Structure 1
């Protein structure tokens, strides 16, 4: 994969390690025109430790270089990109080869490594592009291949790099620690989400009629910005379904109990004959509706909406959406 430049378009290869037969890999290791670079990044779960990056360079069975270092407070893609950048620079400098094969478990970071555009690790990408451009110009036969290796495989030299980087544990000290843009953005987002979850516990903020639901692990369902949030993602991002489920959950659906509560001149009773058309009645007792067990999870509500396409919708619209 070559970095973009005016005179030559990007080219490259992406392979998966399981597809490389052991015999073929042995041939690659005996080819002195090929340098093998294993890279990995590690971001500890505890905020007390810094992220780490590692790169191991082989030529044949000879280990040319092995290095690991702290990357600061960064995201996992940042740490992976840092490792790839280091590996490419070391391979070009030390290996004296025509082909560099980089083994990584982060293809997203591999693509970013040769992308000089604006992103969190742009400085590392620019250094990779600069080194590769000089290397390509020196010999038209030079090429680089990024090979995807799932970290869980602990495969050969990549497994060695994984073990090497995860052994490095460096605490965050009093000195200034490097932070990437993505890491700072993630920290702010999680801080806002924590504040949102805390505020959501207050009924005056959430709303007294808000339908309390649970996560599969039994914890109360909390708001989130990830993938559109838990409510929207459950309904497949369908605007039609969400337009009905939203008033159902918040207690603002156009039903009898809502009309009575806000003194709206509309019937309070249910079409099945019940005196009051409440949310509980519609979900559990109405003879005109498909019955589901107690709706502890959003999936239960989604199932109910599927079998009752006009429930909690406006009567004037056949699709149930006002």
Structure 2
């Protein structure tokens, strides 16, 4: 149904000249078109079967649409990814990844955590840096960029310089404000919802885990 503004535009157009008319025509469905039938079959069978492996075979390749082929590849790759991650979580996720059930659902392009974080790409990026440990911190520079001789000490702290780590940012640096009272990663992960705690820490500190707060001695 057209909105009010569209109706006003049409009305002005009708009144502009007596020859301006609107003709409505019935358009038949796409019944009988092979490509459209394939897409319809995809939708029906995808709704019925949860995995492409469960789809019945009819002596031919089924379904035939390009969309379903893409879906099948993605579904298969995701299944292999989950098997690999579950087989050896420590090796797959890495030593620095915060291991908690609320973080296992993370996807690079999915609605989670983007939806829960309000659809803000910058906030999502800082969140991912925090839970994976791949952030512009002094500790990260020591691990992966040692030969570059980059600064590794936090200069934002009001006291003596401290080694710039994820733990320092989350629990010790007095440059940032916190709603929680945890003193370590273990305490944080034992909370009811560490996702919530980290989320609001990042909201309260919009430069935390950003390159703006990276160690710099200039």
Give the whole-Å Cα distance in 2 for the aligned partners of 1:253 and 1:242. Answer: 13
Compared with structure 1, are the counterparts of its residues 178 and 265 closer, same or farther at alpha carbon in structure 2 (3 Å cutoff)?
closer
Name the SS for the 2:101 alignment partner.
coil
Q: CA deviation at 1:270?
A: 5.3
Residue in 1 that maps onto 2:116: 234
Residue in 1 that maps onto 2:128: 246
- Deviation string, structure 1 residues 107-148 (Cα, Å, up to 9, x no partner): xxxxxx9356886635869xxxxxxxxxxxxxxxxxxxxxxx
Higher Cα Rg, which structure: 1
Question: Where in structure 1 are there 5+ consecutive unaligned residues?
Answer: 1-6, 12-112, 126-171, 318-322
TM-score by length of 2: 0.53
Contact 1:211 / 1:250 at 8 angstroms: preserved in 2?
A: yes
Residue in 1 that maps onto 2:84: 199
Q: CA deviation at 1:206?
A: 3.0
Is 1:121 equivalent to 2:3 in the alignment? no
Give the whole-Å Cα distance in 2 for the aligned partners of 1:124 and 1:311. Answer: 48
- Deviation string, structure 1 residues 30-51 (Cα, Å, up to 9, x no partner): xxxxxxxxxxxxxxxxxxxxxx
Q: CA deviation at 1:309?
A: 0.4
Q: CA deviation at 1:186?
A: 4.1
Is 1:266 equivalent to 2:151 in the alignment? yes
Give the whole-Å Cα distance in 2 for the aligned partners of 1:222 and 1:243. Answer: 16
Question: Where in structure 2 are there 5+ consecutive unaligned residues?
Answer: 1-22, 42-54, 181-187
Q: Number of residue pairs matched? A: 160
Of residues 191, 197, 200 in structure 2, which corresponds to 1:300?
197
Name the SS for the 2:199 alignment partner.
helix
What is the RMSD of the two structures over their aligned residues, measured on CA atoms?
A: 4.1
Name the SS for the 2:150 alignment partner.
coil
Q: CA deviation at 1:298?
A: 3.2
Name the SS for the 2:154 alignment partner.
coil
Q: CA deviation at 1:304?
A: 1.5
Q: CA deviation at 1:306?
A: 0.8
Of residues 284, 288, 291 in structure 1, which corresponds to 2:178?
291
Residues 1-322 of structure 1 aligned to structure 2 (within 5 Å)? 9-10=25-26, 114-115=29-30, 121=37, 176=59, 179-180=62-63, 181=65, 185-201=70-86, 202=88, 203-215=90-102, 221-224=104-107, 228-261=110-143, 262-263=145-146, 264-269=149-154, 271-272=156-157, 273=159, 275-293=162-180, 294=188, 296-315=193-212
Name the SS for the 2:153 alignment partner.
coil
